Structure 1
Amino acid sequence: MRDVSILTIARGRDAHLRNVIRGLEAQTVRPRELVIGAMQSEPYTDLPETSFPIRQIHITRPDGELPLASARNATARAAEGEVLAFVDVDCIPHPEFTADVWNACAPGRGLVMGEVAYLPKGATEAGLDFARFERLGVRHSDRQAPPPEWLRQCDDYRCFWSLNFAMHREDWARSGGFDEGYYGYGGEDTDFGRTLEYRGIPIWWLKGAKVYHQYHEHCMPPIHHIESVLRNAEHFASRWGERTMGHWLHAFHMMGLIDNAPDGLRILREPNEADFALCRQTGDMPYANSRRVLDKLEPSLDSEAERRAAAERGEAWMSSVAAE
């Protein structure tokens, strides 16, 4: 056994969680433990049998909002392993996952981000078949390909994505963990990446430590979380002097959902079914993508370069008054 604690946070998603556990039981090197940050009052039951211990910690909020940052911190505090590997509940680890993160995470190295392949709808219905997952899984168009040289430093903290990352516990302690002023959906990842940059803790792309993202319907941009996105964007601004999630804010603005008022972002109207139809991931999409929606919202622009430039202008405008 290599001394790796696997940490995941979840609310619902019982079937996804069971597949994660089955993936961990299939590891060539077993993890020390799985710690589940259950963002619900009831424990998960009928979980698969494992050769390693599973512990559940319950983290909830009175308002029912998702305590994503708090839950990740709580699982890290409870973990006993030397290496902390955070895996989202919809991500099935490749059989070499534990061995890969153990080999990559040394004291002082910083944070490593493993590979992610997105599975189409129905890919897990027949059980775990990693050869099939490898054939079917695709890389997200907004994510960098894995480096051929095993590790490559990432120079842009905004690339950090919490669905699959690992750190030696000494580096985790240096980071201070996720800021718990974020709750609900959005912003805590970018804040954590910014904190790492501020504290001089490097971020690395890793070839390996692969996970397979299980299909589930999602909206992107996340209009089903519009209130928490706006709140967390303003919290980010209070800490760093500018907003984050600018591409989402730009899309919300183009859809007529929000405005940038003198006293901050405000919701003009609630999303309707037409908005959800525009943003909803469908069965033929392995993953949701805001770029697809922005392209539809900017039909008058002639080229991809013009559309991207317009999106960047929108992001800059949404961020420019953050500290006013």
Structure 2
Amino acid sequence: MNNRRCASFIQRTQSLNRMAPSSNISLLSIVHGRRSHLNNLLRGIAEQHCPPKEVVVVFMNEAIPDQLTDPGCPFFPIQLNSDDHQLPLAATRNLAASRAQGDLLAFLDVDCIPDPDYLCHLQQAVDRTHGLVMGDVRYLPPDAASGHWSFADLDRKAQAHPRRPAIPDGKDLMTLPYPLFWSLAFGLRASDFARLGGFDEGYVGYGGEDTDFAFNARLTRLPLYACTARAYHQHHPVYSPPYNHLTDIVSNAQRFHAKWKIWPMEGWLKQFQHEGLIRWDLNQLEILKQPADHQIAAARSDALFV
């Protein structure tokens, strides 16, 4: 897992030990902005019934804040500055993993608040399957996690994604098709992450790196599962389709096609093609023009699901 040469990073350790960790889990997250979401994530970590060994948070192209919520365990904030891209997602996740000391890596998106049993369920699932295991993410409406909140409030307000498969009643695990992998909330053994080579840093910015990671897991016969580890996704506006990420999506789709001989993100590519933004066929993909500002603005949505 080689980090981008142009990336520089500064590690700062905070003495935030409040309890002895009872697991060998490294909880990893990456962030750019989203301060309130990050503090809610850290609050959720502090409430874990199986507290992690450590928390590693990488700040992409921004300073580490002076004031952050105490996660109740060793906390290692890291700064990564990249000249290549404002959001070097693959490289940032790899950097977080390279600094982790735990045997199990639990990646959790900064928008997610883990239920108190989240790490207990995730660890049990990874220990049982020795696989790549996704958590059960539920979606919160706007402002559901602002101000004072309780986990009972979050659970009452959260909704399951209507287009994601649900774990059957009475089960705590199910297998998933690899194209359904999503990096919002997942865990695996550190040894398996190393065996996969981490995320491919040839993917720059937004789009494609998750599916590529899952296809590498399929290639190495690392099984993919969903488990009942609950996390609550904090609402934020989205762009559907993501015209604001057109350049990244096209570049990453080209890389994906070169590796796997199929096109990823076909739904978005079809929308871009319909708007005359790209030329796309079985073998080639290129940008014809950039979206207009009014197209990007019109695509902004407060919908819970995309």
CA deviation after TM superposition for structure 1 residue 65, in Å: 3.3
Larger CA deviation: 87-96 vs 273-282: 273-282
Given the alignment, which residue of 219, 225, 242 partners 2:245?
A: 225
Given the alignment, which residue of 214, 238, 242 partners 2:262?
A: 242
* Aligned twin of 1:74: 95
CA deviation after TM superposition for structure 1 residue 110, in Å: 1.1
* Aligned twin of 1:150: 172
Instruction: For residue 229 of structure 2, give the secondary structure of its aligned residue in structure 1.
Output: coil
Q: Within the alignment, does 1:127 sit opposite 2:139 as a pair?
A: no
* Aligned twin of 2:207: 186
Instruction: For residue 186 of structure 2, give the secondary structure of its aligned residue in structure 1.
Output: strand
Show CA shifts across 1:159-194 (max 9, x none). 000010000222222222111100110000000010
After TM superposition, list the pairs within 5 Å mapping 1:202-217 onto structure 2. 202-206=223-227, 208-217=228-237
How many Å separate the matches in 2 of 1:237 and 1:13?
32
Higher strand share: 2
The number of residues matched between the two structures is 284
The question of whether the paired residues in 1 share the 8 Å contact of 2:85 and 2:204 is answered with no
Q: Within the alignment, does 1:275 sit opposite 2:286 as a pair?
A: no
CA deviation after TM superposition for structure 1 residue 56, in Å: 1.6
Q: Within the alignment, does 1:111 sit opposite 2:132 as a pair?
A: yes
Q: Which runs of 5+ in 2 are unaligned?
A: 1-21
* Aligned twin of 2:304: 286
Equivalent AA in structure 1 for residue 226 of structure 2:
W
TM-score (norm 1): 0.83
TM-score (norm 2): 0.88
CA deviation after TM superposition for structure 1 residue 279, in Å: 2.5
Change beyond 3 A, Cα 1:257–1:172: same
Equivalent AA in structure 2 for residue 167 of structure 1:
L
Q: Within the alignment, does 1:2 sit opposite 2:23 as a pair?
A: yes
* Aligned twin of 2:220: 199
The question of whether the paired residues in 1 share the 8 Å contact of 2:60 and 2:86 is answered with no
The RMSD of aligned alpha carbons is 1.8
Equivalent AA in structure 1 for residue 206 of structure 2:
Y
Q: Which runs of 5+ in 1 are unaligned?
A: 290-324
How many Å separate the matches in 1 of 2:50 and 2:185?
18
Show CA shifts across 1:180-233 (max 9, x none). 100110000000010000111100011x21111111111122111000000000
Instruction: For residue 27 of structure 2, give the secondary structure of its aligned residue in structure 1.
Output: strand
Q: Within the alignment, does 1:166 sit opposite 2:184 as a pair?
A: no
Larger CA deviation: 214-223 vs 265-274: 265-274
* Aligned twin of 1:322: none
CA deviation after TM superposition for structure 1 residue 261, in Å: 7.3
Show CA shifts across 1:76-128 (max 9, x none). 11111121100000111111111111211128621011101110011012333
Equivalent AA in structure 1 for residue 238 of structure 2:
H
Q: Within the alignment, does 1:12 sit opposite 2:33 as a pair?
A: yes
Higher helix share: 1
Larger CA deviation: 158-167 vs 46-55: 46-55
Show CA shifts across 1:209-262 (max 9, x none). 111111111112211100000000001111112221111101111122222279
Q: Identity, % of aligned pairs?
A: 38
Instruction: For residue 77 of structure 2, give the secondary structure of its aligned residue in structure 1.
Output: strand
